[in-house]
Structure 1
Amino acid sequence: MATSQVLARSTGPAPDSQDERLPSPTVPPTVPPTGPAPAVPDRDTAAVVSPSGPYSLLLTREPDDVAAAQRLRHAVFAGEQGARPAAGDAVAVAAAAQGRDADAFDEHCDHLVVREDASGEIVGTYRMLTPAGARAAGRLYSDTEFDLTPIDPLRDEIVEVGRSCVHPAHRHGVVLSLVWAGIGRYMVLTGHRWVVGCASVPLTVAGALPGGVWDLVASRHLAPAARRVRPWREAPIGEHDPHAPGAGRAARAALPPLLRGYLRLGAEIGGPPALDPDFGVADLFVLLDQTAIDPRWRRYLFGEAG
């Protein structure tokens, strides 16, 4: 039985540089899936049918695809960013010795992977943990960094996303757009309301979350008190003078593309950042209610008229 299926294919050549905007392509036709994806109900799967497109987006649990995604994650997280496996995580330590980034959650996740069609190489990846997967794993990954008690009533409606990365040679609009479209399509197929996850922000030289980033998200994007969570290990927040010349522009520029994308869609930030010393980042807990997404983006993400 197949354990992967094509969700979409790109419809044009890759641009020369990264474009973080979310385009609004033609709504794709629905076609029968090539095989059942583990956590997706038995419904039609959307695909952009363009044989000239250079990339395909797949939802997979195929061992070879997952291993390729884990190797890409290791190359980006450890090779580029200097991340190291948590010393107490035997799965992560063993995987790192094999040139892979893996943990105990991977086996319970569906994996979105972007494949370059010409080479067959996996060049982008994201993993998705459904409520059933979280129950099998015993918790969400975010539970390891935050006390999520305030959102316990939402757990049956949550898909947790994480471990996002793209090969450095493919960090442009086509691949990023495929990933966003894949997340939207996945939410439609699984029927869940909330997307949550940890959005990572590189630490300053002093080992803190950039103060401008915190001021920006805290002033505009904090979740209401009923959904406010707290980190188990809070990251320090750097000093920031919001009235300094260019402070606002610098704060916006410091937002990583993934976090910027979430905020554009209307995501909330659950509270203060958690420190992830193994990855050398501060993590912000992100909540996105897919039913409340700005109508401008609904057609792109969900194939709806906006």
Structure 2
Amino acid sequence: MSGAAITTVAELESVIGRTPPPMHLKVIDHLDVGALRWISASQLMFAGFGDGSGVGITLAGSAPGFASGDAQELRVPLALLDDPALAQPGAAFGALFLLSGIGETLRVNGRVAGIDADHVRVAVDECYGHCAKALIRSELWAAQPAHAPDDSAAFVAASRFLALATIGAEGRADLSPKGDPAGCMAQLDGDVLWFADRPGNRRVDSFRNVVEQPNIALALLIPGANRIAVVRGQARLTTDATARERFTVKDKTPLLAIGVEIETLDLRESPALARAGLWPVHTETDIDPAELFVEHIKLNKAGGIGASLARATLSVPGVTGLLKKGLDKDYRDNLY
């Protein structure tokens, strides 16, 4: 399997391709009105905190409005973090905000600016919307309240959602969602946990980070249950056919498999999930993810003719509806 190992960014891009330039245009450097609305309506956040020595992952959650912020700063109550000890001043931060019943997610990256008596304050560097493919594949919002297995192997086999926290050589954290049917989300093979890469937004920040710095943390979730599995270890990327073929779904074999040499694997109840009360889905929102995507591209400060043309095109009336149709088609045709 060593001959199939991915050890450089160039090798990674030769397998999955380079990030398309339009993907960079959806990233803004602050929390705009749409992002703040999203955060105020969210019941659950996955968050990674890290530094040069590694990264940890935790959840925060409660009723909508548990997190808040302004254009430059995100604020999360320490009491609503499952593991508040991870939040240290100066730590890199990557987060994923979920909206009940919505497939798309909001990603926020930055750095812990400070800890006061009640909150962790994060200086925001990046904010962008993430496509719905991971949540669609996991059928996250179709779940009903459920019991999770007490056995680690059984829990991993039943999991359908994974949040991956990584940190790169430059100290930037990333929190990436993964989703798949039970049995294909993650698999244990001795002391190694395996999962696969699937089509997504093609930014692949998490895999670039793994190439640079392999220490990772991840949380596995069984939709409907309040228990999670938290794994820490060293990740490696491979194109080995045997590793990839174990994750074939609908006759589609992933291009890349990820193996994590497990240092710790802990099953734990998540108070954040219990407070969030995600299942059954009952919260309605008028937030339109396609509208958020459009507004972020308009707000992006990138220069150049391509960026200017993209922003001009998105000012045409009706373009949000066209984007939504394009997303829906992509979700139907390119899940695997």
**If the length of structure 2 is used for normalisation, what is the TM-score?**
0.28
Q: With structure 1 as the length reference, what TM-score do the two structures score?
A: 0.29
